[in-house]
Chain A
Amino acid sequence: MQITIEVNNKKLRAEKGETILSALNRNGINIPTLCRLEGLSPTGACRLCVVEVEGEAMLVTACSEPVKEWMKIRTHSPRVIRARKAIVELLLSNHPDNCLYCDRNLACELQDIAYELNIRERRLSSDAMPVMLDQSSPAITRDLAKCILCGRCVRICEEVMTINTLGFIGKGRGTHVGTTMDKDFNFSSCIHCGQCVNVCPTGAMHERYNVKEVQDYLDRDDMLKVVQYSSLVARSIAEELGMKYSTSFEEKLNEAFTRLGFDRVYSTGFGSDVLITELSEQLAKNKSKKSGATVFTSHCPAWVKFAEQTMEGVLDKLSGFKSPQQVTGAVIKALVPQLEKVEPEQIYSVSVTACTAAKYDARRDDNTRKGISDIETVLTVREMIRLLRLYGIDMNMLDGRHADEPFNLKSSCSLLTSLSGGLTESVIRVLSERHGIELSPGEIRKLRTVGSFREITLGRGKLKYNFAIVNGLKGLSQLEEMQKKVHYDLVEVMACDSGCVRGGGMDGSEAESIVKERVRSICKSSKANVIKLPADNPSIRNYYDRWIPGNADLADRKILMNSYSKKEVLL
């Protein structure tokens, strides 16, 4: 039902039951917020969205107060602005001043709000909080001095990811965000998903920096510098640079990597295609052996860590295949020395990724063989953009070039693996082709719907495959319920809702609209891609037919596999 409210002396229509804030936003009136999180209930912690409501003695928070018929609201009265300003000044009084050196300089919500409120002087001073860096995690660095206790990271960790690694500790002035017993991050149950980084309004949380080491290696002539990235990464970089994504953008990006000093540019899509092929094979084998085993996917490193610390029973059901990044990385280190006539230790392998957990993934024991890491450095999209800016590369001015052989081509299936449910869809395509069965139109539609849990059935009778898709760790509880009734052949789990498209290494992942656009764009490209199945991908054909037979390392399928064990952390 629509009602009328009066905002700044103008009549506006509002929906009954909605909050003042939502009514204002829909009508193009912006007021600052620091603690609000899309999709979650208001906490009213930051008090920045206060407005003046006629008849109320106090200022009210627009995020929590429902609209009432004929409510008279003033959003920018002197009283309101004075209050907002004072709140931000209070926050700034012990906030470090070194914005120039901050991760979030120019991309900081606190900075933006201070600017909007015209704060030009430090009127309140006190000792700035001492720097309290926690660099113990391979993926995420925390700096408590910059934390403004908005609680977004705590809520996303608890309510969305259901990990509960972060919590408010203490009270009063001593309140801070921390983990159990105030231990360092690496002792915690953090799965490195990076969602906290995405929602942090300041520089209190960011990915662990690796830009400098990449720079150092790029200067070295004695190394073969190789880089891999996925199609999603290219999309996200285009997004950030304000450019339109297309295959030619990807070609320009290849050129950009070359300009940075990389000798070879590879596609992570290769690893995805290998993964799809191997996983389909595993499922088909299980079916023919009538083993009845349930296979859980293991391509999401955050999910794998979660399983290792909390779901001991699932560990032996994990498919065992590494993530596409690590598959590609392992094959690079095994094959490229042979092709390029270099020693494995002379290859410096970098991966650019949408995910912060990928940094942790590269540090797993399985991903180092004979003392040589499969991937030396993992950069997030955010870091990559920094590197491009640092080297003064204007993407608009570049001519394109193709990625380098032998990991230059990818199938349309490989594109899908960065979506939740994408690996399942790809495996279904391969199996359909193999068995000559098809998915019903209804089931196809179900594949790409949203929701934290989905199930799809392929084929019937003896050749019936049941698939379950757990979209975000929240869906695990539904899986547990469903597993009591249904046997699944494959359970795909991705830690983040919607998959890698919401990765913690890209700006914008916290906004629903951007994530949706990424999904749409990937589906579109996948449809347009010429190479449909992994088996049609010449890179994959070469890999199986030409390279494996001639390379002892590659022939050892163990290089594609991880082993899992119970991880003791403070849950």
Chain B
Amino acid sequence: MANDYEEILSKYRSANRMDLIPILQEIQEQNGYISEKAIRDLGKMLDISTTGIYSIASFYDGLHFNPHGKKHIRVCNGTSCFINRQVNIMQVIEEELMVKNGETSADGKYSLELVDCMGACHSGPLLAVNNEYHSVRSEKDLKRIIEMIRSDE
């Protein structure tokens, strides 16, 4: 696991600072997150301080330093989904599944993310569990979805 990004780094041997973000994205895609060690090794390769890399990576919502949960829950934060929502989806999930926006629950089961418009406003408010999409039209819908997330573990 620790060396999962070696290959990516070797591909970028002659890289410069402009490649930093694509490399981070690739490492994340492969490992699921960006580890401290990856930051250190990348820093050495590109001659950028680890603070520099952490500073840059922490700026972007799409880069994270912890693996996503087994069930990654995305809640659409598009305007249309917001005005059509009947229940504070984020709050309920945060309370029910004990996971905060942008974080992964302590047991590694769930992670939660607020995302931009997914392009299917007519079926909003949208919620995605991994790649499955659900309309959350009522509190009942949400309860059903949460039950579904909790089951089949």
Q: Which residues of A approach B to under 8 Å, CB–CB? A: 158, 163-171, 178-182, 188-189, 570-571
A571 touches B58 (CB 8 A): no
Cα distance A180–B53 in the bound complex, in angstroms: 8
B16 within 8 A of A: no
Most chain A beta-carbon contacts within 10 A, residue among B49, B55, B65: B49
B123 within 8 A of A: no
B52 touches A169 (CB 8 A): no
- Asked whether A166 and B59 contact (CB < 8 A) given A180-B39, A570-B40, the answer is no
- Asked whether A188 and B59 contact (CB < 8 A) given A180-B39, A181-B36, the answer is no
A-chain residues with CB within 8 Å of residue B54 when the two chains form the complex = 167, 169, 180-182
- Asked whether A168 and B55 contact (CB < 8 A) given A180-B39, A181-B65, the answer is yes
B50 touches A180 (CB 8 A): yes
B36 touches A167 (CB 8 A): no
Q: Which residues of B approach A to under 8 Å, CB–CB? A: 36, 39-40, 43-44, 48-55, 58-59, 65
Cα distance A570–B43 in the bound complex, in angstroms: 10
Cα distance A549–B126 in the bound complex, in angstroms: 85
B-chain residues with CB within 8 Å of residue A182 when the two chains form the complex = 54
Most chain A beta-carbon contacts within 10 A, residue among B43, B44, B55, B59: B55
Cα distance A338–B138 in the bound complex, in angstroms: 86
Cα distance A250–B36 in the bound complex, in angstroms: 51
A180 touches B51 (CB 8 A): yes
B58 touches A169 (CB 8 A): yes
B-chain residues with CB within 8 Å of residue A164 when the two chains form the complex = 48-49, 51-52
A-chain residues with CB within 8 Å of residue B65 when the two chains form the complex = 181
Most chain A beta-carbon contacts within 10 A, residue among B50, B51, B54, B55: B51
| Interface class of chain B by DSSP | helix
**Least Cβ–Cβ distance between A511 and chain B, in angstroms:** 27
Most chain B beta-carbon contacts within 10 A, residue among A168, A189, A570: A570
**Least Cβ–Cβ distance between A556 and chain B, in angstroms:** 40
**Least Cβ–Cβ distance between B113 and chain A, in angstroms:** 15
Question: Which chain A residue shows the least CB distance to B55?
Answer: A167
A-chain residues with CB within 8 Å of residue B55 when the two chains form the complex = 167-169
Question: Which chain B residue shows the least CB distance to A190?
Answer: B51
A-chain residues with CB within 8 Å of residue B52 when the two chains form the complex = 158, 164, 167
Supply 5 A–B pairs (Cβ within 8 Å), ascending by A: A164-B52, A168-B59, A169-B58, A180-B39, A571-B50
- Asked whether A166 and B51 contact (CB < 8 A) given A180-B39, A181-B36, the answer is yes
With contacts A180-B39, A188-B51 known, what are 9 further pairs, Cβ within 8 A? A164-B51, A165-B49, A168-B59, A170-B59, A171-B58, A171-B59, A178-B51, A570-B51, A571-B40
A165 touches B51 (CB 8 A): yes
B-chain residues with CB within 8 Å of residue A188 when the two chains form the complex = 51
Most chain A beta-carbon contacts within 10 A, residue among B44, B52, B65: B52
**Least Cβ–Cβ distance between B61 and chain A, in angstroms:** 8
Cα distance A180–B44 in the bound complex, in angstroms: 14
Question: Which chain B residue shows the least CB distance to A176?
Answer: B58
- Asked whether A570 and B59 contact (CB < 8 A) given A180-B39, A181-B36, A181-B65, the answer is no
B-chain residues with CB within 8 Å of residue A189 when the two chains form the complex = 49, 51
Cα distance A166–B54 in the bound complex, in angstroms: 10
A-chain residues with CB within 8 Å of residue B49 when the two chains form the complex = 163-165, 167, 180, 189, 571
**Least Cβ–Cβ distance between B66 and chain A, in angstroms:** 11
A-chain residues with CB within 8 Å of residue B51 when the two chains form the complex = 164-167, 178-180, 188-189, 570
**Least Cβ–Cβ distance between A174 and chain B, in angstroms:** 9
Cα distance A167–B54 in the bound complex, in angstroms: 8
**Least Cβ–Cβ distance between B7 and chain A, in angstroms:** 23
**Least Cβ–Cβ distance between A544 and chain B, in angstroms:** 44
**Least Cβ–Cβ distance between A37 and chain B, in angstroms:** 18
